[in-house]
Structure 1
């Protein structure tokens, strides 16, 4: 079974996804005129100014934290260590590449999620790739297929991955039975997910920033202590990424290939840009300013924090520790624990254990919601939702005692299938997104606070729900007011290509 799964995963990643992922990143970067660079500082300003909410609404900050709760997990601690162990230090460079390019697809998919979100009629929204696949492309069957893949990937497989890493870290360090750990995780998970989305976002906005900041402070401390070694470490990353340290052509090709594959795989698993997971959280927000591009811009911060900050912090700890030169066979979370312990002493593995518990647990909670949103897309049934919640709790427990290698293998396959569908879809729907971005650009250049007027976009006005993106002054707002109509054109699929 594992051989069969491995062969399928190899085909998807090595012959399809790797080229589509990098190609889409370059394509969206160029077409958006480097949106990740143009709006980098603006994105942080939007994040810091979006804490307040009114009524039952979910803020951009809360949606971002929910997305980060899923992204910032054991992939940042265990996945990075695995990538370096298998692909060498050069894998870190390719993680950086994936992150910088991935910020553009993240903008596109999260803007689409905002455009095509569904009103829950209680002040909240839900959405994601399944929703924009059905509404914009009219392909409900493909939306259902994506929802099923996401349910399997996030609701079950990824939750098993995170629960497994939590169990491995805690049981190895504290010598507790994985069964006990799995039961504890399952019980706490059930106490949160049965209370709904507001319980999830409140948990995420408190725990995620605290743990991310604590982990970053520790990593900075490690770098400061070993500051004299940092130039050599950075040189090693670039040398390994391009095979500059290898003696023969065959060795160079193989080492670069391994570094690239591991870096891209773990980078995507970590920040999930283009995979179609983040939009499920982004769709819940009521962004300020009231424009779908706002949440798309905010979402780029998630990719940056996840990979450029937290994954880099883990890489620095592992590479500065010298664990890779000792010849030991530690891998995954055990390598990260040993690395930090070798630098700071006995409390290092304890800290990693705590970080894994919190990061892994927040990922489980956020992944659950991703699955819930897609289950509601397939069928809005209270009984089915109850059964899903019970299944998630059971899989969290089961994942705590599963094989690490098999769990990661299945995760790679499921993630690849999801990303394959979503990347193709967002390329097809990139035309409307770029028009929306130009609308945002034009209003900001004019010194206005961006406000989305759906009446300016024929195709969008016809395909998005009638009860979302409704401005109270739509009837009084002249079409094109405050906007350069040379930058914003109506999109009509009858005479224009969606891409």
Structure 2
């Protein structure tokens, strides 16, 4: 089974898939006139600026929607997961420092892919007989593209990805961290996680939105505070870390730490794959959360997507990578240590309780992602089988939490990579066909 999963992952994330992802982002970037750069003052004013000014939106309690910030936090909760911690470490271990550069590349172009997804998600959403918004990639595939089979294929793949990236990867990283830091057995941490997940998930979208709105800013602040402490301690090494990232991005490395270097192919593949795993640009997953927003202008929600990718990859992933590089922990010992342990070693090099701190941060990130991804999966279950399908899905999602915490990490990561790629194919196809409908501020 392990060999089959590895082969599947290698096939799905071949050169063609990387070109597919980057091609979509490049196309939308060019069509928008490099919107993420040339209109940075506009999209920041409509997101961060709106929050700073205390800009009001419709009262979500009086409507069937949630606020723009709540939908953003739900989407960000799903993206700000262990990919920002363990995923970055894995990219360094198997792709070298150059992989971080290619994570930035995937994020830069991915910003406009996410913008397009959110724009189409708002444009084609609709309200059901209960007044609830129905939206997501499968909706714009069916209503915009008129291709029901493609929508069904996406929904099925999204269900599978929700169990992999959304649940098992997160639970496993959390369990590994807690076991190494506090000697908590995986069975115990998995059981507790399963119970808490069940409690939150029974409250529906409103409870999920309120939960993520409160958790995401707190957990991000806690993690970044610890990381900044490490970076301050090694501040004289930060410039060297950036130099190493750029040096290793385009060439085969000389021996690192006494072992063979990394090839550019490894750096590109691992950087883009882990970047997409983290920010989810092109997967079509976060559209389900953004489509619930009380926003009326699709362009505004598209801008929240740009901010989502920026925070996830350009900010958090970069800081994690710098923490590992400046602490000079042996990231080149791939196969000998796991990503969670490696990052814990980096924090522990400065903070006496660094491993414990990281274990707690990982648990928060993982739990938030599990909640956010449940909502994505529930939307596709509802699309495929209605309310009964959602009930069955909720039961299975809660149930799989425990075994996910106990399975070998490598197998789970490779399975999740494969499922992500399979989910992205129908979404990227739809984006290419519907891309001309995407509008941008300042462009006709």
Tell me the TM-score normalised to structure 2 length.
0.93
1:284 aligned counterpart, secondary structure: coil
> Is the aligned partner of 1:312 residue 2:318?
yes
Paired with 1:362 and 1:224, the residues of 2 have a C-alpha distance of 28
Deviation, structure 1 residue 121: 5.3
What pairs up with 1:48-447 in 2 under 5 angstroms? 48=48, 49=50, 52-54=57-59, 55-56=62-63, 57-120=65-128, 124-243=132-251, 245-246=253-254, 255-287=263-295, 290-324=296-330, 329-344=336-351, 346-381=352-387, 383-433=388-438, 436-437=439-440, 440-441=441-442
Paired with 1:198 and 1:164, the residues of 2 have a C-alpha distance of 27
Deviation string for 1:236-269 (max 9, x for gaps)? 111111227539xxx9996111111111110000
Deviation string for 1:346-383 (max 9, x for gaps)? 211111111111100010001000011111111213x3
Paired with 2:281 and 2:243, the residues of 1 have a C-alpha distance of 27
The 8 Å contact of residues 102 and 271 in structure 2, kept in 1 or not, is answered as: yes
Deviation string for 1:60-105 (max 9, x for gaps)? 1111111110000001000000110111111111111111111011
Deviation, structure 1 residue 425: 1.1
2:349 aligned counterpart, secondary structure: helix
Tell me the TM-score normalised to structure 1 length.
0.83
The 8 Å contact of residues 51 and 60 in structure 1, kept in 2 or not, is answered as: no
Aligned partner of 1:12 in structure 2 is: 12
Give the superposed CA RMSD: 2.0
The 8 Å contact of residues 154 and 423 in structure 2, kept in 1 or not, is answered as: yes
- Specify every segment of 5 or more residues in structure 2 that has no aligned partner in the other structure, as ranges: none
The 8 Å contact of residues 234 and 327 in structure 2, kept in 1 or not, is answered as: no
Aligned partner of 1:456 in structure 2 is: none
- Specify every segment of 5 or more residues in structure 1 that has no aligned partner in the other structure, as ranges: 443-486, 488-499
Are the structure 2 counterparts of residues 122 and 355 from structure 1 closer, same or farther at C-alpha, using a change threshold of 3 Å? farther
1:176 aligned counterpart, secondary structure: coil
Structure with more relative contact order (C-alpha pairs < 8 Å, separation 6 or more)? 2
1:343 aligned counterpart, secondary structure: coil
Aligned partner of 1:46 in structure 2 is: 46
The 8 Å contact of residues 168 and 404 in structure 2, kept in 1 or not, is answered as: yes
Paired with 2:220 and 2:56, the residues of 1 have a C-alpha distance of 18
Are the structure 2 counterparts of residues 257 and 12 from structure 1 closer, same or farther at C-alpha, using a change threshold of 3 Å? same
